[in-house]
Amino acid sequence: MMDEKLPRGLDLLHNPTLNKGTAFTDAERDALGLHGLLPPHVQTEEEQLERVLANLRHKPATLERYIFLIALLDRNETLFYRTIINNIEEMLPLIYTPTVGQACQEFSHIFRRTRGLYVSVADRGRVATVLENWPTRDVRVIVVTDGERILGLGDLGANGMGIPIGKLVLYSACAGIPPSQCLPVTIDVGTNNTALLADPLYLGLHQRRVRGEQYENLLDEFITAATKIFSQALIQFEDFARDNAFRLLNKYRHLVCCFNDDIQGTAAVVLAGLYSALRVTGETLADQRLLFFGTGEAGTGIANLVIAAMVENGLPESEARRRCWFVDSKGLVVNRRQDLADYKRPFAYNHELLSDGVAIVEAVRPTALIGTTGRPGAFSPAILQAAAKMNKRPIVFALSNPTSMEECTAQEAYEHTDGRAVFASGSPFDPVTINGRTFAPAQGNNSYIFPGVGLGVIASTSRLVSDQMFLAAARALADQVTTSDLDAGRVYPRLKDIRKVSVSIAAAVVETARRQNLATREVPEDLDSYIRSMMFDPQYASYA
């Protein structure tokens, strides 16, 4: 029987969650007043997909492809997600890194239709009222940013909304969280980006960033309102500047169900990559000596999770910590320096101060170079060559994104290590051929981790998100890497298997939530089947 509340005619065609476009059958067109509003040929979903892909691939620029895909999402949600899921390896670089970086830079200029909620500093005292404008209370994941540190691009203010939108698309595509349960939020407290402030088309507040007590009170009000109005929601902090990122995570992580993807998600992805790389080098995690270029939330988050994994494997914490060394803009982080911020001091050891990259590598003798600098060329040919001299298979993870911010390219990593590097990157690279061997390096993309973690938290209705969940997620991700992946130069599984990977990670998270007494829901023993039954799969509904 036809649902009497179902919209008809143009109202139905303009509803992206219900619209089937040219796939409405003749019977549906009769019943829903659609005859004459659509071309007469009834298309199959496969024919629609073929048209979408042909039009998409005809676009000459990646930003145009991004705009095309978002327009598809705005008019036909089911077809959009079917396109993404069926072609995830082609689509992920378009809907997320690296293209989303340019989309954020141009966000105010390419704005078509609003998605998500904007909470500005002008909303102090009425944040709950703003959140109540969202049409549903059944929200399970909120991704929130204040736009101050978008990827490696810096302060993009309200233009940073492209990041929460993109992350939540990945939650749905990669882990099957229903789109209706996803809410992107941007906290607009102004921007210090002078180009945006001078741009009359910029859609955010035209004022410099608010800081201090006013900022803190706004975030408190947001968290309080969000956890009350959307009581089942997991909150993911995204692309906050370093000091705010650490402070907000530490402030709320034991109070509400939340995590910071830049700190914890990145760390789990990198730890999983290290586990896989060790299958190539034949070493153990306890054998490793990591040299981090970059001391932001990503680098320190990775180090702390690696230390936790080493301790879990039996290494004393003091010894595990000594396996992680850092380089910042002034050189090696050592305890004799007087200019160190408090968060760097746990990684400052007794050593002479060095500022030359090659000299640092020769002194520290790392087994792995981990780049989170956002500075292209930070892994110079000389640094790569130095690492190759002391390691049979040097691990080189150039993790900054977008592509223009990578510490080195895949070509450079393989070329300057004589094809011996075990390489991963923050943005995708094409295969590289060195000495007659072709490498297909994997992208260390957070989409391998955060969707599965979110799915596991939702499946268990966990009260909190713990570091142990990210340790479990890293192991589960590494377990999905096959020998053929490693032979091809990949330390991560193929993205085409991402939904399977997310199920594996979600199951590990549920088990961890149970073990830590954080789960508030009884789940069946057959975890995989239970988790799969919760996952959104884009299918057209039948209306007749």
Residues with a known catalytic role: 96, 167
Residue 28: strand, helix, or coil: helix
Question: Tokens in use for 177?
Answer: 């969280």
Phi, psi of 260 (to 5 degrees): -115, 115
- Residue listed under structure tokens 């000299």: 359
Give 57-95 as a DSSP string: HH-SSHHHHHHHHHHHHHH-HHHHHHHHHHTHHHHHHHH
151: tokens are: 């990827």
Question: What would the 3-class secondary structure string for 408-463 be?
Answer: CCHHHHHHCCCCCCEEEECCCCCCEEECCEEECCEECCHHHCHHHHHHHHHHHCCC
**Residues 6 or more apart in contact with residue 200 via CB below 8 angstroms:** none
Phi, psi torsion values for 410, nearest 5 degrees: -60, -40
Instruction: Please say whether the beta carbons of 469 and 453 come within 8 A.
Output: yes
Picking from 196, 98, 180, the residue whose alpha carbon sits closest to that of residue 147 is 196
Residues near 338 by Cβ (< 8 Å), separated by ≥ 6? none
Q: Are 237 and 249 in contact (CB under 8 A)?
A: yes
Token pair 């599984």: residue: 493
What is the torsional sign of CA 394, 399, 400, 401?
Answer: positive
Q: Give SS3 for 497.
A: helix
Q: Dihedral of the CA atoms 266, 267, 269, 274 (nearest 10)?
A: 140
Distances in whole angstroms, Cα of residue 138 to Cα of each of 51, 91, 177, 183, 231: 34, 28, 12, 10, 8
* Interatomic CA distance for residues 397 and 270, integer angstroms: 8
- Contacting residues for 113 by C-beta, under 8 A, at least 6 apart: 74
Rounded to an integer, what distance in angstroms lies between the CA atom of residue 354 and that of residue 333? Answer: 9
Peptide bond into 316 cis (omega under 30): no
Token pair for 113: 């239709």
Which residues fall within 8 angstroms of residue 31, CB to CB, at 6 or more apart?
2, 543, 544
Closest Cα to residue 523, out of 452, 455, 450, 466? 455
Q: Vertex 91, ends 179 and 533: CA angle to 5°?
A: 40
